[in-house]
Amino acid sequence: MLTGKNYVAGELTADETSVFESVNPKNNEKEAKFYNASEKDVDAAVEKAAEAFPEYSALPASRRAEFLNAIAQEILELGEELIQTYCSESGLPEGRAQGERGRTVNQLKAFADYITTENWKDEYKDEPNPERQPLPKPGLLRTSVAIGPVAVFGASNFPLAFSTAGGDTASALAAGCPVVVKGHPAHPGTGELVASAIVKAAEKTGIPSGVFSNLNSSGIEVGELLVKHPKIKGVGFTGSLRGGRALYDLAAKREEPIPVFAEMGSVNPVIVTETAIEKRGEAIAKQIAGSYTLGAGQFCTNPGIILKMGDNTVFESHLKQFSEEIEAQCMLHSGIKKAFQEGKNQLLDEKGVQVLSGSDDTENNMAAGTIVKVSAENFIQNEKLQTEVFGPFTMIVTCSNFQELNSALEKLHGQLTASIIAEPEDFSSLKASVAILQHKAGRVIYNAMPTGVEVSPAMTHGGPYPASTDSRFTSVGIPAIKRWLRPVSFQDFPEELLP
């Protein structure tokens, strides 16, 4: 049963009189009321997190692992109510909801396993050598400690896997950091249900209540208060470039600047060689059509740019055909639909942009695929053509040869992914392209679409700016825990004094 209230250190609160309503994007009907968190709520949540931090971070890893596993179980026990709430708030199908729930649960379990079975603190020990000349060598133990309470911002496009108990929260809790979540207003009911699962898990495993809070907010005020609060020590964000950059700048202006790990914008270029088109162009076109429209194009790894070699227009016809066979899909909320239309129209106004397929998509929040085409020359000269259009949109960039392709790649901003669709005959010509791409993207893919992110220790889901604010870290998979840890060395320390 939804209450619409905020969870502050395990307690439901509704101090603020202002409310907002969740909306079903399929029919734009309002469904439930939620209380905006007040400044008092924010301060209480952070203060409780700071109070809980010394005890929680000092717990044996096995205790935190027990907590994470309990959260996973409590999420499963929410059952059909969670799935139905997810679907009504997001417009996404039930299969997607179930899949994302599975990913969320598995992420929690993976971090639980990691902190009990691996050297997750990255510890290294230097033995002392008092006989060394000209100076004795000290004994050193390098380990890692949690940075402190962190703020996590729920993502609009992943109500479960990148939100209340998503990868940011799971990795921070595993590291020993209390978490204050600023829920996304597009799916507050989903957020409250998951928050209730975390609260129950904390109660059952004896975890301090201040370790987790969930705050509702339909505006930017709560997020700003969280980032500026002196006891918040780090931020996790998935969303727009504008939003992520605003939080990053806000954190940098603090008396004590803190890290903001933001995943923001990426057009995820896909290179398709002429040889690959000749051998299997129709199949590639079908793959691309399915990938850029997947989930109404609302994936951070949506392939927004197709760098096509040669002048094969049959391939373009296939892509147009397969794209138009895919029915319009519901976008997450009216704000995203509006931004999609505006972003698309701005690019259509740019010089040299030719529309191959698309429609106005004015009915409710439905959107169908749009394909446009530009020359590599125009793309190289016009930086605006790299602007991400979040939704079912992709741009074909025609390249006459590998030299022109590499010139276009050099102009690319930082990306989450870059894909190469090619044949062995292309390998010698592509070596220079790969050398460029490794400095442009966090994940370089061969003969596959970028949509679909494996949650594993070898995954990098980040990239040079503006894909993310710090390309050294990933927001997906086990290495995500490193964002919430800092190294510390103990020199010549007695065992009895070590924490």
Known catalytic residues are: 263, 300
Report phi then psi at 264, rounded to 5: -125, -80
Tokens 């059909």 correspond to what residue?
80
CB atoms within 10 A of CB 113: 15
Cα–Cα distance list, 487 to 146, 230, 469, 482 (Å)? 9, 21, 20, 10
Provide the 10 A C-beta neighbour count for residue 209. 17
- Do residues 13 and 5 lie in contact, with contact meaning Cβ atoms separated by under 8 Å? yes
User: Whole-angstrom Cα distance, residue 407 to residue 412?
Assistant: 9
Q: Are 139 and 158 in contact (CB under 8 A)?
A: no
Q: CA of 279: how far to CAs of 178, 276, 284, 305, 425, in Å?
A: 53, 5, 10, 21, 12
What count of residues does the chain have?
A: 499
CA distance 366 to 341: 11
Alpha carbons within 13 angstroms on the beta-carbon side of residue 261 total 26
φ, ψ for residue 448, nearest 5 deg: -155, 160
Helix (H) or strand (E) holding 266: none
Instruction: Residue 297: name the closest of 22, 92, 454, 459 by CA.
Output: 92
Residue at token pair 């373009």: 316
**3-state SS string over 82-135?**
HHHHHHHHHCCCHHHHHHHHHHHHHHHHHHHHHHHHCCCCCCEEECCECCCCCC
> Which of 216, 224, 214 lies closest to 184 in space, CA to CA?
216
Q: How far apart are CA 285 and CA 264, in angstroms?
A: 27
- Residues 6 or more apart whose CB falls under 8 angstroms from that of 283 comprise none
118 vs 132: CA distance, rounded Å: 33
Question: What is the spatial distance between Cα 257 and Cα 234, in angstroms, rounded to a whole number?
Answer: 9
3-state secondary structure at position 330: strand
* Neighbouring C-alpha atoms within 13 Å toward the C-beta of 432: 11
Of 198, 22, 225, 189, the C-alpha closest to 97 is 189
Q: What angle do CA 37, 170, 154 make, to 5 degrees?
A: 35
Q: Tokens 């590291």 map to which residue? A: 175
